[in-house]
Structure 1
Amino acid sequence: MTTKTTRRSGGRAARQAMRAAPLAEDIRPIRSGMEGGNYKPLSDAEVLRIHHAALDALETIGLADAPPSGVDVMTKAGAILGDDGRLRYPRALVEDMLAKAAKKVTLYSRDGKNDLELWGNRVHYGTAGAAVHLVDVENNEYRECTVQDLHDAAKITQQLDNVHFFQRPMVCRDIPDNFEMDQNTIYAACSGTTKHVGTSFTEPSFMPGMFDLIYDIAGGEANFRARPFVSNSNCFVVPPMKFATESSEVMEYCIRAGMPVLLLSAGQAGATAPASIAGAIVQAVAECLAGVVYVNAIAPGHPAIFGTWPFVSDLRTGAMSGGSGEQALLTAGCAQMHKFYGLPGGAAAGIADAKMPDMQAGYEQAHSNVMAGLSGLNMVYESVGMHASLLGFCLESLIIGDDLLGQSLRCVRGIEVTDDSLSLETMRDVCLNGPGHYLGSDQTLNLMQRDYVYPRLGDRTSPKEWVERGKPNLIENAIKFKNDILSKPSAVGFDPELDGKLRAKYKIHLKQ
C-alpha cells in the first residue's frame, strides 16, 4: 500500500512539475489569435435580412449631427445631405466604401511580441471600458479610480497570458483637468504594458498634445506611423442614428495622424436602440457602416475596427444588463455581421452585473466570453475585470479572468480529429499490451502540455488535499498575486532617460 501511494504521488508530482514549467511558444495549447467561428446564432438568410435592413436605414433614415468637415468629406464621396440636416447613404456608396475598407488590420504592440492580427475568425481578448469606480474586494466597497489604479491594471495585464490587449478600462477620477487626464491615461497605460493600448480622447483641441506625447514615446512620428501601438476607441455616434460631433472630429484627427480607430456604436437595447435583439444589431450595423463610409472617404483602407457594441437593458428597470444571455447573443450576432462584411470587428463580452467577483460574476462573464470566442469575434472588449454593468473595475477579477479566458480559449480551439487523436493505436497498446489505463502512456504525457489548459489560481484538488493545503481561497490568492506584481516596478517601464524627458515636458501625475 505504501509503495503504491509513493509511486502515484511521485507520478502526480512529476506531472505537476512538468506542467508548471514555462511552455515554449510552439507547444502552448492556447494563444492570441486562435480561430473561432463555429458558433453562428444567425442563419445565412437572417444575416442577409439584417444587412438589407441596415442599408434601408442608411438610405431612408440616415444620420444627423455630422460635423461640417464630415458632411463635406462624405457628400463629396456620394452621401446626400437632406433638408432635415441628415446624411443619407445610397447603397452603391456603402458597397463602394466596403470594397475600399481594410480587410486585414494589425494592432501593434510596443515590443513587437504581442501584435494582434485582425482578420478571419482570429480571436483576441482584452480590457476596455470607462469605469469610474475601483472594486475594493478586501473592504467590500467601491471607491473612485485613480491614475495609479490604471497603471496597476496595465502592469497586471502585462503578466497575464490570456489578456491580449489593454484598452483603458477605467477613468482617472483623481485628475480633474481632462487634457491632463487624457495624457496621463496614455502614460500610465504605456508605462505599465507593452501590449497594444486603446484609449479615448475628450476633445478635438486636445489632439496635438496627445500625439506629441505618443510620438515622444515612440521615438518620433515616423516610428509611430510604422507601428502604431496605440489606437483610438471612438464613440463616433450617439445612438440612435446621430453622429457625436466632437468625437467625429477626434476621429478625423486620428486618421490623419496615423492611428487605427475603433468605430464604436454602443446603443442600449430598449433605450437608445430597438429592444429586439435583431433590431439592435440592425441599428449598430447601420451606424458602423456609416463609419466605414466616413473613414474611407478620408483615407481609403485606413485601419478601422467595425465596433458594433449594442448593450442590453433590463426592461423592468431600464438599467444596463451586460451579464445577460441576451448580451451574449447580441455580441455573437454582431460577430457574424463582421464576417459577412469581411471586416475586422469588435464587440463587448465578459461584463458582470455582479458587484464583486462572486459566482454571479463568474457565470455572467463566462458565457458571453465563450460565445464571443466561438463566434470568431476578432476583438473581445471588456472581457475581464468589469463589474456593476461597467461602473466598476476589479484588479482581482482581472487576474481571475485570465483563468476564465484560458478555458474560453480552449473552447475556441475546439476538437482536432486526426489519425493520432482518434487514438486507436494507443487504445490497442493500453488494452492489449499495457496496464489497462492511460496515465503513463506516451500520448497522455505528450498531450498533457499541448492539449490541456490548467488554471493559474483555480483549485482542482480533492477536499482532502484542499484541507492539507490550508483551504486555499480564490479571492485571497488573487490578492496575493496582485500584491506580488504591484510590489515591484513595472517590468516594461520607460527607459529612465526617456521617462525623465516625458516628466519634464508633460504634467505626469503618476508617482515615480
Structure 2
Amino acid sequence: VDACPNMDFHMSLGLTSDVPGPTYDRHQAAAMLRHTLKPLVLTAMSREGLADILEMYYLLRGGRDAFEINPGFVIYLEPTTPLLHSQAAVEKLLFSAERRIPAIYTPCPITGATAPATMASGLVLALAEFLAGMVIAQLKRRGAPLIMGGVCSLMDMSSTILSYGAPELSLLSAALTDIAHHLKIPMFSTAGCSDSKALDEQAAVEATFSVLASALSGANLIHDVGYLESAMVGSFDMVVLSDEVIGMAKRLVRGIEVSDETLAVDVIRAAGPGGNFLAEDHTYRHFKQEFWFPRLLDRTRFDAWAASGKPTLKARVKARVHDILATHQVAPLPSDVSKGIDKILAKADKNQR
C-alpha cells in the first residue's frame, strides 16, 4: 500500500497469526508503523491492546499533546448487529474518547440475515447502532472524534455468503454516506473488493463498480480494497489493480476546472482553424495536471504491445506486485522510537505468558 500512489491510508488485509494470539494487535500495528509513511486504520483486541498501540504513537509523535494534534491513526470498532454493543467494543470506544483517538464505529448489518431483507431496514439498523456509539463516546468526552461506518450488504440466498461484490453494498454505502454528511459526520465506506476467488474479470468488474460508486458518493475514507472471496482472502494483486481503478475514479471526481486559463480561448484563437496545439506552451503547462496517466492499463499501439510479448493486464499486475515486493523501501523509524516499540511488544508478550 505504501507504494500505491492513489491510496491515502493503510489498513491491514488480515490479522497477524504468527505471534501470541492475545497480542497480535500490537505486533500488527508495529509492523504497519515500520512499513508505511501513510496514516493507519488499526484494530485492537481489547482496551489494553489499544492502550499499548497508543503508547507506540506517543513515542512516534513525541507525547500525548502532539498526538492529539496529529494522531496518525484511527481505531476501527464495531457494534454487533442487531443492536448489541459488546463490552470490549464499548471499553475501546470509551478509551478512544478519553484519549482523543479518532474512532470509526462500523455497524455491519447483513440484509436477509442480521437485518430484514429490505435495504431501508439495513439503514435503520446501521444508523441506530452508530448513533448509540456516538452518544456513548460524546458522554465520555464531548467532541471526541468519531467517524461513521457501515459495511451493509446482503446474504446471498443461494450460497449464504455476505456479498462483497453486490451492487446493494455500494447502494447502501452511498445512502449511509448521504446520511452521515447530513449529520456533518465523516463517512467510512467500502470498495475495491469482490466475491470472486481470483483476480479475474469478475474481480475487476466488481472492484471498479464499487470504487466508482464510493467515489461518486463522496465517502471520506474507503476501505476493504484488495479483498477477494467475500472478504475471506486478501490479495496483493487486487490491491494493485484497485489502486489503478482508484486513480481513474479520483480523476473523474476531480472534475473540470473552468477559468480563463483553462478555457484557453486566446490559444484557440491564435492557432486558428486547422491549427495544432501540440507545440503550444499552454499544452506543456497543463497536460501533466489535466491528463490521468495509467500505470497498468495499456495504451500502446498494437505493434509495440505485440513486440513486448502481448502482456495481459493480469500479467502487468503481477509484475507490478513483484517489483514492489522486491524494491520498495520505507525509511526506518528513529532508533529510539523503534526500541521503545520493541519494549512495548516484549512487555505485552510477557504479560500473556
Q: CA deviation at 1:386?
A: 1.3
Deviations 1:88-143 (A, max 9, x none): xxxxxxxxxxxxxxxxxxxxxxxxxxxxxxxxxxxxxxxxxxxxxxxxxxxxxxxx
Q: 1:449 aligns with which of 285, 288, 292?
A: 288
1:393 aligns with 2:234: yes
Cα distance in 2 for residues equivalent to 1:269 and 1:492:
44
Q: Which residue of 1 aligns with 2:300?
A: 461
Deviations 1:61-102 (A, max 9, x none): xxxxxxxxxxxxxxxxxxxxxxxxxxxxxxxxxxxxxxxxxx
Q: 2:8 aligns with which of 164, 185, 206?
A: 164
Q: Which residue of 1 aligns with 2:67?
A: 224
Is the CA contact (8 Å cut-off) linking 1:331 and 1:349 kept in structure 2? no
Cα distance in 2 for residues equivalent to 1:216 and 1:413:
37
The 1:325/1:306 distance shift into structure 2, 3 A limit, reads same
Q: Name the SS for the 2:35 alignment partner.
A: coil
Cα distance in 2 for residues equivalent to 1:491 and 1:207:
25
Q: Which residue of 2 aligns with 1:286?
A: 128
Q: Name the SS for the 1:231 alignment partner.
A: strand
Q: CA deviation at 1:222?
A: 3.3
Q: CA deviation at 1:499?
A: 2.2
Deviations 1:366-392 (A, max 9, x none): 11111111111111122x211111111
Q: Which residue of 2 aligns with 1:128?
A: none
Q: Which amino acid aligns with 2:339?
A: G
Cα RMSD for the two superposed structures: 2.3
Q: CA deviation at 1:504?
A: 4.5
Q: Which amino acid aligns with 1:466?
A: W
Q: 1:360 aligns with which of 186, 193, 202?
A: 202
Q: Which residue of 2 aligns with 1:101?
A: none
Cα distance in 2 for residues equivalent to 1:242 and 1:462:
57
Cα distance in 2 for residues equivalent to 1:275 and 1:428:
60
- Superposition map of 1:11-26 within 5 A: none
Q: Which amino acid aligns with 2:90?
A: S
Q: Which residue of 2 aligns with 1:317?
A: 159
1:482 aligns with 2:324: no
Is the CA contact (8 Å cut-off) linking 1:370 and 1:412 kept in structure 2? no
The 1:426/1:342 distance shift into structure 2, 3 A limit, reads same
Q: Which residue of 2 aligns with 1:344?
A: 186
Cα distance in 2 for residues equivalent to 1:223 and 1:421:
41
Is the CA contact (8 Å cut-off) linking 2:106 and 2:151 kept in structure 1? yes
Q: 1:274 aligns with which of 116, 121, 125?
A: 116
Q: Which amino acid aligns with 2:97?
A: I
Is the CA contact (8 Å cut-off) linking 1:332 and 1:375 kept in structure 2? yes
The 1:505/1:296 distance shift into structure 2, 3 A limit, reads closer
Cα distance in 1 for residues equivalent to 2:184 and 2:153:
23
Q: Name the SS for the 1:326 alignment partner.
A: helix
Q: Which residue of 2 aligns with 1:414?
A: 255
Is the CA contact (8 Å cut-off) linking 1:385 and 1:394 kept in structure 2? yes
> Structure 2: which 5+ residue stretches go unaligned?
none
Q: Which amino acid aligns with 2:159?
A: T
Q: Name the SS for the 1:506 alignment partner.
A: helix
Q: 1:260 aligns with which of 102, 106, 110?
A: 102
Q: Which amino acid aligns with 1:503?
A: D
Is the CA contact (8 Å cut-off) linking 1:251 and 1:261 kept in structure 2? yes
Q: CA deviation at 1:200?
A: 1.2
- Superposition map of 1:40-59 within 5 A: none
Is the CA contact (8 Å cut-off) linking 1:311 and 1:320 kept in structure 2? yes
- Superposition map of 1:44-443 within 5 A: 157-175=1-19, 177-235=20-78, 237-382=79-224, 384-422=225-263, 424-432=265-273, 435-443=274-282
Cα distance in 2 for residues equivalent to 1:403 and 1:489:
18
Q: Which amino acid aligns with 1:484?
A: D
Q: Name the SS for the 1:492 alignment partner.
A: coil
Is the CA contact (8 Å cut-off) linking 2:192 and 2:208 kept in structure 1? yes
> Structure 1: which 5+ residue stretches go unaligned?
1-156
Q: How many residues align?
A: 348
Is the CA contact (8 Å cut-off) linking 1:166 and 1:195 kept in structure 2? yes
The 1:295/1:479 distance shift into structure 2, 3 A limit, reads same
Is the CA contact (8 Å cut-off) linking 1:270 and 1:318 kept in structure 2? no
Q: CA deviation at 1:167?
A: 1.9
Q: 2:334 aligns with which of 453, 475, 495?
A: 495
Q: CA deviation at 1:406?
A: 0.5
Cα distance in 2 for residues equivalent to 1:197 and 1:505:
19
Q: Name the SS for the 1:297 alignment partner.
A: helix
Identity %: 25
Deviations 1:160-190 (A, max 9, x none): 2210001222111223x33320110110111
Cα distance in 1 for residues equivalent to 2:147 and 2:187:
5
The 1:430/1:295 distance shift into structure 2, 3 A limit, reads same
Q: Name the SS for the 1:487 alignment partner.
A: helix
Q: CA deviation at 1:232?
A: 0.9
Q: Which amino acid aligns with 1:469?
A: S
Q: Which has the higher contact order (CA 8 A, sep 6+)?
A: 1
Find the structure with the greater CA-based Rg: 1
Q: Which amino acid aligns with 1:391?
A: M
Q: CA deviation at 1:407?
A: 0.2
Deviations 1:394-453 (A, max 9, x none): 112212222110001011112334455455544444443xx5444444444433211111
Q: Which amino acid aligns with 1:414?
A: G
Deviations 1:302-325 (A, max 9, x none): 111011221232233321111121
